[in-house]
Amino acid sequence: MAVISAFNLKKRFNLEAGFFARFGRFVYAVNDVSFSIGENESYGLVGESGCGKTTTARLLVRMYKADSGRIIFQDREDVLAMKRGELKKYRERVKYVFQDPARSLNPRMSIYDVLVSGYRWSSRRVGEKTARREAAAVLEEVGLDGADLERRSTEFSGGQRQRISIARGLLMKPDLLICDEVVSALDVSIQGQILNLLLDIRSRHKLSFLFIAHDLKVACYFCDRIGVMYRGELMEEAPAADLYRTALHPYTRLLFSSALGSGSPAAFPEGPGRNPAFERELKTPLSELAGCAFAERCPLAEDRCFREQPVLQPAGRTDGGSPAPENHRVRCFRTGPG
Ligand SMILES: Nc1ncnc2c1ncn2[C@@H]1O[C@H](COP(=O)(O)OP(=O)(O)O)[C@@H](O)[C@H]1O
Ligand code: SF4
Ligand SMILES: [Mg+2]
């Protein structure tokens, strides 16, 4: 069973406000994204800054309204059609942990208030005593002390604050935890601790994750399956181990070669560090694209790539001719089925 499935999600933002909105210029943040996350599965959404990861996650919890597409929760509930009461319950089942704990935790509130604020807005009524007991338990679960409930978030380090954010996400025992770049703002050593904490939580609870990261290595460490996004589109999707062994899409290979530092795939002999295209700030499309979103940067691009849009489809076979697994999908004319 899928915990959540997204079909053909699209979202564009109007760059003009007020009167000028009618002449709208748009950024196409999410273009036709489809994926699903199974029970107890960790699905990674990976790509450079600006490629549409956060927008996709916010569409899932209806922080943004999708322009089109469908979102189905637990194979039956139509998220985009939910009324207020249903949406409230849905948001107890699907929790969002933000990238920056310093901004997402109110410094004036005690940790207890931060944690149980979820209960106040929820359909579940619990008494003060139960709330306190559950808040202390979840705080201990993330490696802090029950006595920390009375302290304020400003008294904690960045890593500890991220633990508090995770505790807040876990308190209602959700079915899906969305972790949006939860380790990106942390030092490498702290990143490892938080990742291990999440792995620990995974093994103890029946829980699915949408794990968002710009670092492919981090995502491969944590996730079962990964979708690689570029300019609002999914370019490749595969089990993490397959992606690690045989990334097919030129963009994924570029991401890997940059993550691993050396050993650039043959398609990128110059190495990403010296590839000015890779260092350039990624631009979100300002119009609907005629061809492949990656064509301008792709060393394998041919004429067709600028005219036609490839679709995401089962990879068929790898470069070496051996069959790729059925659940390895790629959006590329030159590395698709053939
Ligand atoms: N609320 C918004 N209003 C206008 N543009 C937005 C908004 N949120 C995101 N965008 C734009 O949409 C694109 C995708 O952003 P985002 O989803 O945050 O990417 P990521 O999380 O992968 O870094 C970017 O160009 C960003 O500037
Ligand atoms: S479709 Fe063409 S431009 Fe796009 S990734 Fe494949 S080879 Fe490159
Ligand atoms: Mg983001």
CATH of the domain at 105: 3.40.50.300
Between 103-107, 122-126, 146-150, the lowest mean confidence (pLDDT) is in: 122-126
Please write the tens of the pLDDT for every residue from 57-68: 999 999 999 999
Residue at 153 is within a domain: yes
Ligand 1 midpoint to CA 192 (Å): 27
Residues 6+ apart with CB under 8 A from 76: none
CA of 302 to the centre of ligand 2 (A): 7
Q: pLDDT at position 279, please?
A: 43
From 223, 252, 268, the end of a domain falls on 223
Tokens standing for 182?
């939860």
* H/E run at residue 77: strand 77-78
Distance 107 CA to ligand 2 centre (A): 47
Instruction: Report the separation in Å between the CA atom of 180 and the middle of ligand 3, taken as the mean of its atom positions.
Output: 7
Alpha carbon 321 to its chain's center: 31
Q: Is 197 found in the same domain as 262?
A: no
Q: Do residues 29 and 99 share a domain?
A: yes
Same domain, 128 and 258: no
Tokens coding 286: 């300002």
Residues 89 and 112: their CA atoms lie apart, in Å, by 22
Q: Clarify whether residues 85 and 43 are in a common domain.
A: yes
Supply 291's token pair. Answer: 């061809």
Ligand 3 mean position to 264 CA, how many Å? 26
Q: Indicate the top mutation candidate among 248, 255, 300, 311 to test ligand 2's pocket, ranked by most ligand atoms within 8 A of CB.
A: 300
Ligand minimally distant from the alpha carbon of residue 47:
1
Residues 135 and 60 grouped into a single domain: yes
**CA nearest ligand 1 atom 3, residue:** 13
Going 52 to 58 to 61 to 67, the CA torsion angle's sign is negative
- Quote the CA–CA distance of 310 and 304 in Å, as a whole number: 10
End residue of a domain, out of 189, 223, 257? 223
Looking at the structure, tell me whether residues 11 and 99 fall in a common domain. yes
Task: Report whether pLDDT(245) > 90.
Answer: no
pLDDT in tens, 165-223: 999 999 999 999 999 999 988 888 899 999 999 999 999 998 999 999 999 999 999 99
Torsion 312-215-289-250 (CA) sign: negative
- 99 alpha carbon, closest ligand: 3
Output the pLDDT for position 281.
46
Residue 255 Cα, ligand 2 centroid: separation in angstroms?
A: 15
Residue 237 lies in a domain: no
The residue whose CB lies within 8 Å of the most ligand 2 atoms, and thus the one to mutate among 254, 294, 306, is 294
- The set of residues, in sequence order, having a beta carbon less than 8 Å from that of 50 and lying 6+ positions away, is 281, 282, 283, 284
Please state, in angstroms and rounded to a whole number, the distance separating the CA atoms of residues 31 and 90. Answer: 24
- The predicted pLDDT at position 275 comes to 42
Give tens-digit pLDDT for 90-103. Answer: 999 999 998 877 77
The answer to whether position 229 is within a domain reads no
Beta-sheet pairing, 313-314 with 329-330: antiparallel
What is residue 283's predicted lDDT score, i.e. its pLDDT? 64
What sign does the CA torsion over 219, 34, 10, 338 have?
positive
pLDDT-wise least confident of 217-221, 237-241, 254-258: 254-258
Whole-structure pTM over 0.85, yes or no?
yes
Q: Which has the closest alpha carbon to 324: 266, 250, 242, 249?
A: 242
pLDDT tens-digit map of 32-79: 999 999 999 999 999 999 999 999 999 999 999 999 999 999 999 999
Residue 263 in domain: yes
Return the pLDDT at 105: 86
Sheet holding 68-73, edge to edge: 26-38, 2-14, 68-73, 77-78
Both 258 and 325 in a single domain?
yes
Residue 243 dihedral angles phi and psi, to the nearest 5°: -65, -40
Please give all residues whose beta carbon lies within 6 A of any atom in ligand 2, as ranges. Answer: 250, 292, 294-295, 298, 300-301, 305, 310, 332-334
What residue numbers bound the domain in which 75 lies?
Answer: 2-223
- Whether residue 240 is predicted with pLDDT greater than 50 in this model: the reply is yes
Count: domains in the chain: 2
Taking ligand 3, which is a single-atom ion, which protein residues have CB atoms under 5 Å away?
54
| Ligand nearest, relative to CA of residue 31 | 1
Of ligand 2's listed atoms, the one at least distance from the Cα of 299 is 8
Look at residue 219 and tell me if it is in a domain.
Answer: yes
User: Is residue 313 in a domain?
Assistant: yes
Position 324 scores a pLDDT of 63
Residue 265's pLDDT is: 39
User: Which residues make beta-bridge pairs with 38?
Assistant: 2
Ligand 2 centroid distance, CA of 65 (Å) = 31
Note whether 53 and 93 are same-domain residues: yes
Query: How confident is residue 266, by pLDDT bands cut at 50, 70 and 90?
Result: very low
pLDDT tens digits for 268-302?
Answer: 433 333 344 444 445 677 777 789 999 999 999 99
Q: Which ligand is nearest to the CA of 284?
A: 1
Residue ranges lining ligand 1, Cβ < 6 Å? 13, 27, 29, 47, 49-55, 284
* Residues 198 and 305 reside in one and the same domain: no
Which of 21-30, 205-214, 323-332 has the highest mean predicted lDDT (pLDDT)? 205-214
Same domain as 205, residue 253:
no
Question: Percentage of the chain surpassing pLDDT 90?
Answer: 69
Can you tell me the distance from the alpha carbon of 65 to that of 63, in angstroms, rounded to the nearest whole number? Answer: 7
Ligand nearest, relative to CA of residue 252: 2
CA of 18 to the centre of ligand 1 (A): 20
Q: For position 203, what pLDDT does the model report? A: 92
Angle (CA) 33 35 37, round 5°: 145
Ligand 1: which of 49, 179, 284, 287 to mutate, judged by most atoms within 8 Å of the beta carbon?
Answer: 284
Question: For residue 19, what pLDDT band results from cuts at 50, 70 and 90?
Answer: confident
Is residue 288 assigned to a domain? Answer: yes
Let me know if residue 230 belongs to a domain.
no
Q: Are both 104 and 72 inside the same structural domain?
A: yes
Same domain, 31 and 155: yes
**pLDDT over 60 at 254, yes or no:** yes
Displacement of CA 50 from its chain's centroid (Å)? 12
